[in-house]
A and B are shown apart, each in its own frame.
Chain A
Amino acid sequence: MQQNFLLKKEKLGEFLTALSKEAEVFVPSLNENNATCFLPYNSQELYLAERTQYSPKKILSPPLEKEFIFRKKSSSFEIEHLLDNKKRVFFGVRSCDTHAIKVLDKLYLEYFTEDKWYKAIREDLTIIALQCSKPCENGFCQSMGTDKPVGHDLLLVEKEKSFFVEIASERGEQLVKKYRDLFNQTNFTKPESKFKCSKELETTNLKEILDKNFFHKKWKQEAKKCLSCSSCTQVCPSCYCFLSFDKFILNTGDSERFRAWDSCQLKRFTRVSHDFFFRESRESRLRQFVMHKLSYFQENFGFPLCVGCGRCIMVCPVGIDLTEIASTIRGDSK
């Protein structure tokens, strides 16, 4: 039988400090501008009230990363693949974010061909998940079936004076073993969290309904409000679109290849030569975002791309809400 443990709250600091000696530990906390996000652990106060405004996506797939260096050698080139294989720990990751990591794993490790860059990071990553105990603003993970974490190594559940610790993988087990003196064995079973998400999204037949309503007037209405600021895709933990470009290093013939986030909300996203745009209208771009989340991805992978964290709803300055779009369209197609 699997053993369960307790981690006293006052021991948490010690645990994180010990971890950060051997790996880069990312914890949910407040940044300079009072936004909640994942930052390297540096004895700062943790933010454990609800899921952070920004997900840990930026570490697995940075906004800008250097992939290769092409060194010019007389008449040829030497290609150096820059792999980032630091040891990392994500602490306090919510269920929705573990599902977002699953999306990235699927895409970069399984689908078609594996991505060396991602693999190097992912192999040395430990995920310590934290179960939610209350609904978060705008979240609807229960509708998306992403309210139970996946792919994590340890799961913490907050109790009054301690965290209940469930071991979820071998890596997790090793971790507890290593820091055994910080953990107390317990006979408790995992406390279930009982709450209802603040938002709901009815998912039955959703794909079919959306596909059928490709030209629904709702798209145009929402697009009129949309600022195309790309905030939604940037904060989304499972938005993965990227672009790549090269840059010369000063006046040498050497160059570097970068990979950077891109967003389907930007007009340039579908640009081809002669400045032709496939999705030029705001309407089509907004639709792409929602459809990719709730329909297209499902077609290829069997589950939706949206993990129900509600961040895109929270960040949108003009209040565009994909659950509202989906339910309006559903309502009209009855």
Chain B
Amino acid sequence: MHQDEDFSIENITKIEGHASLDLKVRSGKVESCEFRVTESHRFFEDMVNGRHFSQIPLIVSRICGLCSSSHLTTALEAVEDALEVEPSEQTKSLRRLSIFGEFLKSHSLHLYMLALPDYLAKESVLKFGEKEHHFIHDGLNLKKAGTDILTALGGRPHHTVNYRVGHVTKGPNSEKLVAILKGLESVREKALETVHLFDSFAAKHPFERKTNFVALKGKNYPLMEGQAIHCSDKTSVEKDGLMQHLQEVVVPYSTAKNAVFNGKDYVVGALARIALNKNQLHPEARKALKGCSTKLPNKSPFSTNLAQAIELVHCVESAIDLAKDLSPRNEPAPKIKPKACSGVGVTEAPRGLLYHSYTLDGKGFITESNMVIPTQQNIRSIELDLHDFVPTILSKPREKAALEMEKLIRAYDPCISCSVHFLKVNWT
């Protein structure tokens, strides 16, 4: 690459959704960097308006195929918060279990199918040779443990069908739970191996940049039911007040508005969660983390993959504990009286902090909604990282450099399909 170069990657591959990158390098410095989203809008915030609250979870789950359960759970929490419905312990446990399943699914797919080829210098999993072929099986097996949970609990691996406001229409039977447990136990080893694998890769990327981490804080490793959002700058906010601390800023070199937390750029996702809630990880996951040669948290965005691997261990172990304790009964649906109200739900989706808020009218129809999605919050950090990262790889040939940039973007596991719908972009 040259000291002066205009550079663009059309249609970045192996990420969820459509995005491209435009870079302008002048005298070895990045003059402008645009991580541009090319996905079409689907206007979810407008679409849920006028719909009955009972339909909301099923609609918003279609925001993203990869983290549909997170959207579903967040929306459910938001609507329940508004209507002051308290779901039963069993309902909460089932939701928590599906979220573990979803993390397993999402993380293992990203790590093995999308990120791993980068580290092994292969174009894609389809180009894996004899030696690497077992990785496909490993990834698929881990994913299967996750999707089996989702299928047993929610009917299918994506877009769960039976989670409703305040209850679950039908819980899994004991046979299904036994099958889940068996599946989870069979991938325990694989999860640990994944940590070793990605630990060995993490050391290879010395790039660092200081940033802030933001994640939900709660009793358990904060995947849901959290009340407060913490930031690594030691501040914290209640979930209802999140929107006062999240600002959208216009950055001159980008068409997309980015988000800042308390005026500072920040990162959400696996790395942020580990940074802020390391001590609440499952003991097994903590042990795995201790055994890593790379220390987490650190300032390298490439460590996100390792953090995800650690979370795989956490999810497998916690899901086993949770599933062992469950003995679901069928519970009646609660009687819900609609009223004019509003509520907020915040959870941790695989890619980071997820926020939904809804306002209902007296008959139970939605009048206003707002959603903040993880990747949207990370875009600013991706761009800032590239700013610092690109000058360090200018000596490399063009294709190599492009690949390095893609790797960095992929490390964030961006999920464009959901984020795009909420960027308030003016494309004119």
Complex: A32 Cα to B169 Cα, angstroms: 12
Q: Which of A24-61 contact B (CB under 8 A)?
A: 32-33
Q: Does B173 contact A (CB under 8 A)?
A: yes
Chain A residue with Cβ nearest B173: A32
Q: Does B188 contact A (CB under 8 A)?
A: no
Q: Which residues of B contact A33 (CB under 8 A)?
A: 170
Would you give the shortest CB distance from B355 to chain A, in whole angstroms?
36
Chain B residue with Cβ nearest A34: B330
Complex: A114 Cα to B324 Cα, angstroms: 52
Chain A residue with Cβ nearest B330: A34
Q: Which residues of B contact A32 (CB under 8 A)?
A: 170, 173
Would you give the shortest CB distance from B291 to chain A, in whole angstroms?
43
Would you give the shortest CB distance from A40 to chain B, in whole angstroms?
13
Chain A residue with Cβ nearest B175: A32
Chain B residue with Cβ nearest A33: B170
- Interface residues of A, CB < 8 Å — how many? 2
Complex: A162 Cα to B173 Cα, angstroms: 33
Chain B residue with Cβ nearest A32: B173
Would you give the shortest CB distance from A35 to chain B, in whole angstroms?
13
Q: Which of A5-33 contact B (CB under 8 A)?
A: 32-33
Complex: A285 Cα to B170 Cα, angstroms: 35
Provide the main secondary structure of the chain A interface: loop
B139-183 vs A, CB cutoff 8 Å, 1 = contact: the mask equals: 000000000000000000000000000000010010000000000
Instruction: Give the contact-size bracket for chain B.
Output: under 10
Would you give the shortest CB distance from B110 to chain A, in whole angstroms?
29
Complex: A79 Cα to B44 Cα, angstroms: 54
Would you give the shortest CB distance from A325 to chain B, in whole angstroms?
35
Complex: A32 Cα to B152 Cα, angstroms: 13
Complex: A32 Cα to B173 Cα, angstroms: 8
Q: Which residues of A contact B170 (CB under 8 A)?
A: 32-33
Would you give the shortest CB distance from A37 to chain B, in whole angstroms?
16
Q: Which residues of A contact B173 (CB under 8 A)?
A: 32
Would you give the shortest CB distance from A45 to chain B, in whole angstroms?
15
Would you give the shortest CB distance from B82 to chain A, in whole angstroms?
31
Complex: A33 Cα to B173 Cα, angstroms: 11
Complex: A32 Cα to B175 Cα, angstroms: 11
Complex: A255 Cα to B42 Cα, angstroms: 43
Q: Which of B274-323 contact A (CB under 8 A)?
A: none
Q: Which of B107-127 contact A (CB under 8 A)?
A: none
Q: Which of B206-259 contact A (CB under 8 A)?
A: none
Complex: A32 Cα to B174 Cα, angstroms: 11
Complex: A33 Cα to B169 Cα, angstroms: 11
Complex: A277 Cα to B122 Cα, angstroms: 55
Complex: A32 Cα to B329 Cα, angstroms: 11
Would you give the shortest CB distance from A93 to chain B, in whole angstroms?
26
Q: Which of A91-149 contact B (CB under 8 A)?
A: none
Would you give the shortest CB distance from A133 to chain B, in whole angstroms?
30
Would you give the shortest CB distance from B312 to chain A, in whole angstroms?
31
Complex: A282 Cα to B170 Cα, angstroms: 35
Q: Which of A256-283 contact B (CB under 8 A)?
A: none
Would you give the shortest CB distance from B8 to chain A, in whole angstroms?
40
Complex: A33 Cα to B170 Cα, angstroms: 9
Chain A residue with Cβ nearest B172: A32
Would you give the shortest CB distance from B15 to chain A, in whole angstroms?
31
Complex: A32 Cα to B172 Cα, angstroms: 10
Would you give the shortest CB distance from B231 to chain A, in whole angstroms?
46
B186-205 vs A, CB cutoff 8 Å, 1 = contact: the mask equals: 00000000000000000000
Complex: A33 Cα to B155 Cα, angstroms: 14
Complex: A194 Cα to B173 Cα, angstroms: 41
Complex: A33 Cα to B171 Cα, angstroms: 11
Would you give the shortest CB distance from B214 to chain A, in whole angstroms?
43
Complex: A33 Cα to B330 Cα, angstroms: 10
Complex: A22 Cα to B420 Cα, angstroms: 61
Residues of B within 8 A of A (CB): 170, 173
Residues of A within 8 A of B (CB): 32-33
Across chains A and B, which 3 residue pairs bring their CB atoms closest together, nearest first?
A32-B173, A33-B170, A32-B170
Between-chain CB contacts (< 8 Å), 3 pairs: A32-B170, A32-B173, A33-B170
